[in-house]
Amino acid sequence: MDEDKQKPENQKTLLSDSGDSPAILPDGKEKIPLGSGVITRVLGHGGTATIYEIWNPQLEIYRAVKLFNPGTVETALQRFQTEIKICAKLKHPNIVEIYSVGEWMGLPYIEMEKISGTGLDYIISSRGALPAVVCTSVGIMICKALDYAHNQDCEIYGKSYHGVIHRDLKPQNIMVCSNGVVKLMDFGIARPIDTSFKTMDGLISGTLQFLSPEQLAKGKLDFRTDIYSLGVTMYEMFMGVNPFPQTSFINLISYKTKNKFRPIETFYVKIPRRLKLLIYKCMHHDPAKRVSSVVALLDELLSIHSALTTKSPERIMAEFVLDKSDKKNVFVSRRRFPWCSAVLLTAIVITVIAVNITGVPAKLKQFSKPAISNVTGIIKAVLTNSKNAPVMDMNRKKTENTADTGKIPDSSNIISSSLSASQNTEHAVRTASVKTKKIKPLLENLKNEYGADDLSTIMEKALRDKNYSTVLAVYDLMTPEQAKSQNVLIFKLRALSGLGDKVQLAEFLQNTDLNDGEFYLAKAKQAYKGKNIPGCKLMLEISLTSPHILIDYEILKREVYYYMALCETALFDAGRSEETYKNALDAWWQLKMALRSEPGHIYNKKAASELQRMAKEMQ
């Protein structure tokens, strides 16, 4: 007890009433009193706080309570207390409203309005690029919230300040209500606009992809840092992708300070020129060259919005959330037809025409159709930019000949290549015929053993029996068309994983094009084993937003959360900081929430072990 008395008062609040161990958070299943009501369920879980839904029987209304997690480091508590002081002073229709603050079992909490709606991050991930009027509507309402915050007078820790900057503006912190109102939330790292007010830990806080260059460089911050983050958010709304997919801190610093990101012009997207230029101006690396103020940004967005529609932003958003369309808009890159391919294509076409006009010598007649057919294939390959196109070999020949003689080779070389290809094709057909005679008995045996004629069904049954070699043997018996089936490719993926054949698995993952969550998860695991943490995180993010043909989504989500937690822990171990610690905490708590119905799961044990280890290292 003497040891406990020496601890700071706010450190003691992290412990239970007994002072011996951290308080145990409610699991959301029991109606435990919290705030002005009783807990009905858990809404979300983060590294520093858990959000509960509560029911207030007197007002007959649901509210949300953000409760600080026990066992968290001192700096996180100080940041939470600062959030309480800032949020309590912000009252605006486009900012989540705070009703009261208090303590539960020694843990501080914030009671706020419960929003009936959807996060902007989920909307973007499920619908992709959003319509222009939706983007301007969101931008307008967030600008109104920021304008209010930037001009709010507040007193924090006994000192008066004018204006608050959010510092963590991103789609995850923007909620779209069912009535069309857009609200800004999570002022967890918000700070007054004053150079004398430093962060508690002196470290970078926030999501790196949305932070301004001056935030990453720990420079002087003012309201223009929020303008930059809103610009990145608007870019992501319009394009459906983040302009800075890099996960390395060094790469992000480099790209952001050089104003280097993928231009909007490289996408097939119709966007008003004024809007495009406005986004670019918001995202400028030099604060002095950004939009001068949130008011100026709001005025320009209102002007653009009125040119697109006569409807109010709130009405646009209300209609948008009612539209349950599952269609996801994805804008692809513009592809320019390379001039060298155009020249080569012209030469091929001229050659083919010349052959047809002048006739083919008698000794070549037997090959004329295959040769011309192969030329047609070459033309198609050039048009589609195929990596395996025969034109690649011809380009190599052309380079070699030009280097030796300084002359462009005769067009007859093209026909010669085609003739050789035709002869090779005939040889391949004869070889395949011999193989077919040997394969038939094996195929019949497999059909009898598994009681099925369909090769895909045989693969599935063999996979169920863990006969991985049989699965791969059946795959080899399939026609090219059968082998392209998504189910078949996933069966092969599972078989290679089951055999533990790292070489073949790596080759399969590299050479296969399959849009499936399980496939991207396998690529993520391979990246993690190769210590490619950024690559692993990217594949994990893609995995959750991709179709999942065979794997159960809950299983997929559990695996993704586990490997994401491993990635964040690896980043924490590589560079211990408040930011990496918070990210790792969030990731492990996310996994624990996904496994709350399976307390004995091995991943839960791993989570508990890692959380305890990191907390000790941060003390």
For residue 488, pLDDT beyond 90: yes
Domain presence at residue 457 = no
Cα–Cα distance measured from residue 117 to residue 183, given in angstroms and rounded to the nearest whole number: 10
Instruction: Give the residue numbers spanning the domain of 613.
Output: 515-618
Q: Are residues 52 and 176 in the same domain?
A: no
Position with higher pLDDT, 235 vs 438:
235
My answer on whether 253 and 239 are in the same domain is yes
The pLDDT score that the predictor gives to residue 428 is 52
CA separation for the pair 543, 561 (Å, rounded): 11
Residue 163 has pLDDT above 80, yes or no: yes
Coil, helix or strand at residue 139: helix
Residue 364: the pLDDT is: 38
Please give the Cα distance from 21 to 34 (Å, whole number).
21
| Mean pLDDT in residue range 593-603 | 84
The pLDDT of 145-164, averaged and rounded, is 83
Chain centroid offset of residue 539 CA: 8
* 34 contacts 52 by C-beta, under 8 angstroms: yes
pLDDT for the residue numbered 191: 81
Percent of the chain with pLDDT strictly greater than 90: 30
Judge whether 269 and 331 are in contact, CB under 8 Å: yes
Angle between helices 391-405 and 412-450 (to 10 degrees): 150
Q: Which of 92, 113, 134 is the last residue of a domain?
A: 113
Task: Show the tokens assigned to 553.
Answer: 């989504």
Report the C-alpha gap between 176 and 314 in whole angstroms: 10
Is pLDDT at 565 greater than 50 in this prediction? yes
Residue 357 has what DSSP assignment?
Answer: H
- Evaluate whether residue 437 is within a structural domain: no
- Report yes or no on whether pTM surpasses 0.85: no
DSSP string, 152-194: -EEEETTEEEE-EE-S--SGGGEEEETTS-EEE---TT-EES-
Where residue 232 sits, what CATH number does that domain have? 1.10.510.10
SS3 for 45?
Answer: strand
pLDDT of amino acid 176: 94
Confidence of residue 98 (pLDDT cuts 50, 70, 90): confident
pLDDT for 6 equals 35
Which of 209, 300, 218 is CA-nearest to residue 261? 209
20-34, 46-60, 586-600 — which one is most confidently predicted on average?
Answer: 46-60
What domain count does the chain have?
4
For 342-354, what is the mean pLDDT? 50
Q: With contact defined as beta carbons under 8 Å apart, do 48 and 582 qualify?
A: yes
The whole-number pLDDT of residue 595 equals 85
* pLDDT tens digits, one per residue of 506-552: 999 999 988 899 999 999 999 999 999 999 999 998 888 788 888 98
Whether 251 is in a domain gets the answer yes
Reply yes or no on whether the pLDDT at 17 is more than 60. no
The predicted structure's pLDDT at residue 513: 87
Res 441: pLDDT: 62
The string over 102-130, giving b where at least 16 C-beta atoms fall within 10 Å of a residue's C-beta and e elsewhere, is eebbbbbbbbbbbbebebbbebbeebbbb
Q: Residue 446: pLDDT above 60?
A: yes
User: Measured on CA atoms in the order 208, 213, 219, 220, is the torsion positive or negative?
Assistant: negative
For residue 569, what are the contacts with CB-CB under 8 A and spacing of at least 6? 584, 587, 588, 610, 614
Task: Give Cβ neighbours of residue 252 (< 8 Å, ≥ 6 apart).
Answer: 208, 209, 216, 244, 246
- From CA 181, how far away is CA 117, in angstroms rounded? 9
The pLDDT of 112-134, averaged and rounded, is 89
123 shares its domain with 227:
yes
Residue closest to 518 by CA, chosen among 480, 487, 476: 487
pLDDT in tens, 490-507: 999 999 999 988 889 999
For 201, the token pair is: 């830990």
Q: How far apart are CA 45 and CA 400, in angstroms?
A: 62
Are 279 and 187 in the same domain? yes
Name the nearest CA neighbour of 582 among 9, 193, 49: 49
Determine phi and psi for 89, rounding to 5 degrees.
-100, -5
Residues 174 and 245 in one domain: yes
Q: From CA 594, how far away is CA 592, in angstroms rounded? A: 5
Higher pLDDT, 209 or 57: 57
Whether residue 44 is found in the same domain as residue 158: no
DSSP string, 431-448: HHHHHHHHHHHHHHHHHH
Strand partners, 111: 65, 100
Please spell the DSSP secondary structure of 583-595, one letter per residue: HHHHHHHHHHHHT
Select the more confidently predicted residue: 360 or 211: 211
Question: What mean pLDDT is reported for the chain?
Answer: 77
Same domain, 148 and 285: yes
Mean pLDDT of 213-217: 82
* Lowest-pLDDT range of 12-26, 236-250, 303-317, 333-347: 333-347
Give pLDDT, residue 206: 58
Position 75 scores a pLDDT of 67
Q: Which of 339, 20, 323 is nearest to 176 (CA)?
A: 323
Pull the structure tokens for residue 93. 């229709």
Backbone angles phi, psi at 38, to 5 degrees: -125, 150
Whether the Cβ atoms of residue 291 and residue 280 lie closer than 8 Å to each other: no
281 and 155 inside one domain: yes
User: Which of 391, 416, 441 delimits the end of a domain?
Assistant: 416
458 in a domain, yes or no? no
- Is residue 558 in a domain? yes
Q: Mind listing the pLDDT tens digit for each residue in 251-309?
A: 777 888 888 888 888 877 788 889 999 999 999 999 999 998 999 999 999 999 999 99
Are 124 and 75 found together in one domain? Answer: no
What pLDDT, on the 0 to 100 scale, is given for residue 232?
A: 94
The CA distances from residue 543 to 168, 363, 553, 557, in Å, are 25, 56, 10, 9
Mean pLDDT of 222-237: 93
Burial (Cβ within 10 Å: 0-12, 13-18, ≥19) of residue 324? exposed
Domain with residue 65: its CATH number is: 3.30.200.20
Q: Are residues 64 and 178 in the same domain?
A: no
Q: pLDDT confidence of 559, banded at 50, 70, 90?
A: very high
Q: How far is Cα 289 from Cα 465, in angstroms, rounded to an integer?
A: 64
Q: Is the pLDDT of residue 450 over 70?
A: yes
The pLDDT of residue 64 is: 93
- Among residues 256, 255, 252, the alpha carbon closest in space to that of 228 is found at 256
Let me know if residue 29 belongs to a domain: yes
Domain limit, last residue, from 68, 88, 113? 113
> Could you tell me if 318 and 385 lie in one domain?
no
Q: Compute the average pLDDT of residues 407-434.
A: 44
Q: How is residue 241 annotated by DSSP? A: S
| Region 222-249 average pLDDT | 87
**Residue 194 carries which side chain, given as an amino acid letter?**
D
Q: Which amino acid is at 576?
A: R
Compute the 3-state secondary structure of the chain and give helix, strand, coil in percent, each to the nearest 5: 55, 10, 30
pLDDT of 321 strictly over 60: yes
**Residue 134, pLDDT score:** 95
Q: What is the mean pLDDT of residues 568-579?
A: 91
- CA 57 remoteness from chain centre: 40
Has residue 498 been placed in a domain?
no
Question: What does R_g of the chain's alpha carbons equal in angstroms?
Answer: 31
Confidence of residue 1 (pLDDT cuts 50, 70, 90): very low
Secondary structure element (H or E) that encloses residue 514, with its range: none
Percent of the chain surpassing pLDDT 70: 73
Residues in the chain, how many?
619
Do 50 and 193 reside in the same domain of the chain?
no
Which CATH number characterizes residue 568's domain? Answer: 1.25.40
* pLDDT mean over 593-611: 86
Residue 158 in any domain: the answer is yes
Most distant CA atoms of the chain, gap in Å: 106
